[in-house]
């Protein structure tokens, strides 16, 4: 386990050094001469992804920051991230149910939401917690390419995020990590160097000449933040279960997206503001998720979309009052 920690730390250090080296492209902000701030001018932004997007933290941080900086007109943010989802259609043998595939609901989502910008983040589940293999990698590539085609066919632009890292450090004494060469792996019995798989997926997203308006590497800044903070605390983590970011991790994801859009994450939203935005985000997320429909069992039914929008409007009024007070202070 100690050897695994030092291997991870060394890899993160190398990534940090690469990120500050000339000629290394971490964020693709311009394709076909497109202005990087185009998402800020959208009428409606649809967020797609797995449980990391389902949690809503980074999406709510992005919206709070856009409102704090008075983006006008403000895009409508629709988050339908779904826990356990993939874009590859793969599922590990010991998963309690077949993992949902975004392509099962993508056409409905694009028709019902009618976004002009889509933000998608897949990969964490697509390697199904196994070592790297060509068939699984090819399935991920095919899923991403199909996602691009379908979003463009609906007349929307796509912002494609790399998968965030898998963090083995907090799991070193948990008994959940498995060495290479095992017959089976799962989300509860993970390949110990699974981040090397996500690193390959992220590298492909960044380096492959995909027909996409914007690619944002969130994997590298997340690792950089871990590396910096582990200089003081070697056990520090932003993903306590190795997979799902905590509030600090979601903030790093949000900062990476906002920076790529040309918007700095300052001033920071107050705790009170984020509490309201998280409540509002969860309310709308649950409603939209049920409205669009999905095949994942165990997800609580959301309110009818019209009812949720009415309640969200009241919460937004409260958020606007907090924003005004915070703006007056600054």
Q: State the DSSP H helix or E strand holding residue 177, giving kind and residue range, or none if neither.
A: strand 177-178
Strands of 44-49's sheet, edge to edge? 27-28, 214-216, 157-161, 117-121, 44-49, 76-79
Q: Which two tokens stand for residue 156?
A: 């929307």
pTM, 2 dp: 0.90
DSSP letter (8 states) at residue 40: G
pLDDT in tens, the chain (330 residues): 444 444 444 444 444 444 433 223 334 444 444 589 999 999 999 999 999 999 999 999 999 999 999 999 999 999 999 999 999 999 999 999 999 999 999 999 999 999 999 999 999 999 999 999 999 999 999 999 999 999 999 999 999 999 999 999 999 999 999 999 999 999 999 999 999 999 999 999 999 999 999 999 999 999 999 999 999 999 999 999 999 999 999 999 999 999 999 998 778 899 999 999 999 999 999 999 999 999 999 999 999 999 999 999 999 999 999 999 877 665
């Amino acid at each position: 386990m100690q050897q695994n920690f030092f291997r991870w730390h060394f890899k993160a250090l190398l990534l940090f050094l690469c990120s500050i080296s000339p000629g290394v492209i971490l964020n693709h902000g311009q394709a076909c001469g497109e202005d990087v701030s185009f998402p800020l001018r959208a009428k409606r932004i649809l967020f797609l992804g797995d449980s990391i997007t389902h949690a809503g933290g980074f999406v709510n941080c992005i919206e709070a920051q856009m409102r704090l900086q008075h983006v006008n007109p403000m895009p409508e943010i629709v988050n339908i991230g779904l826990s356990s989802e993939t874009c590859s259609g793969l599922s590990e043998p010991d998963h309690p149910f077949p993992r949902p595939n975004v392509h099962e609901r993508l056409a409905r989502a694009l028709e019902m939401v009618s976004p002009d910008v889509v933000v998608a983040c897949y990969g964490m589940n697509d390697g199904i917690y196994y070592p790297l293999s060509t068939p699984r990698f090819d399935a991920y590539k095919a899923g991403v390419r199909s996602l691009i085609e379908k979003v463009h066919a609906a007349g929307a632009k796509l912002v494609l995020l790399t998968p965030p890292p898998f963090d083995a450090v907090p799991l070193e004494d948990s008994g959940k990590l498995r060495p290479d060469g095992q017959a089976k792996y799962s989300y509860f019995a993970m390949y110990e160097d699974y981040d090397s798989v996500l690193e390959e997926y992220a590298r492909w997203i960044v380096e492959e000449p995909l027909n996409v308006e914007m690619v944002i590497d969130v994997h590298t800044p997340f690792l950089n933040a871990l590396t910096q903070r582990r200089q003081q605390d070697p056990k520090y983590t932003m993903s306590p279960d190795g997979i799902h970011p905590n509030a600090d991790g979601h903030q790093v994801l949000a900062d990476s997206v906002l920076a790529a859009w040309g918007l700095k994450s300052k001033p920071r939203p107050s705790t009170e503001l984020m509490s309201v935005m998280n409540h509002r985000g969860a309310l709308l997320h649950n409603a939209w998720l049920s409205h669009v429909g999905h095949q994942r069992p165990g997800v609580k039914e959301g309110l009818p979309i019209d009812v949720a929008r009415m309640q969200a409007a009241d919460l937004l009024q409260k958020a606007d009052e907090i924003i005004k007070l915070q703006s007056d202070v600054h």
